[in-house]
Structure 1
Amino acid sequence: MIKSNLAVLLAERKMRVADLVKETGINKSTLYKLYNDESVRIDFETIDKICLALDIGVGELLIYKKEQ
């Protein structure tokens, strides 16, 4: 299962989803779904913008966890 680490990343930077919306131009609902780990799919362009804005790699944003 692939999990989003966006909530942790934003907390570490003392940022809100609204701050990331302003910086990236990504739709608020898209980021909230990713923040709350409710996304079913995510566009490569969205991943790219988030990684660029937070200065991270894809492996820091998306984490693979084996289902139990």
Structure 2
Amino acid sequence: MIKCHLSRLLGERKLKISDVTRDTGINRGTLTRLYHETAERVELDVLDALCTYLNCGLPDLLEYQKSEQASPPPTP
């Protein structure tokens, strides 16, 4: 599972989604999905723009967390 820390990062900087949309040109819907951790996919240019705007690295924005339930290995 991938955890997105956008809400925490914006809170720490006292920024709103509308601020990020205005300053980066990233679609508001995309930012809202990242903020609420409902995004199923993200374009690399969006991640690049967010890291540049927030002056952070990708590990500050996204974190891999091992899933609670491990998937069984595929059967041959």
Smaller-chain TM-score bracket: over 0.9
Q: Unaligned regions of 5+ residues in structure 1, if any?
A: none
CA drift of 1:23 comes to 1.0
**CA separation in 1, counterparts of 2:6 and 2:31?**
9
Secondary structure of the corresponding residue to residue 26 of structure 1: coil
Larger gyration radius, structure 1 or structure 2: 2
Q: TM-score, normalization: structure 1?
A: 0.97
Q: Unaligned regions of 5+ residues in structure 2, if any?
A: 69-76
Percent identity of the aligned residues? 40
Secondary structure of the corresponding residue to residue 3 of structure 1: strand
**CA separation in 1, counterparts of 2:30 and 2:49?**
12
1:40 partnered with 2:30: no
Question: Which residue in the other structure is 1:10 paired with?
Answer: 10
Residues 3-29 of structure 1 show CA distances to partners (whole Å, capped at 9, x for unaligned) of 110000000000010110011100000
Q: Runs (4+) of structure 1 moved beyond 4 Å?
A: none
RMSD: 0.5
Q: TM-score, normalization: structure 2?
A: 0.87
CA drift of 1:35 comes to 0.4
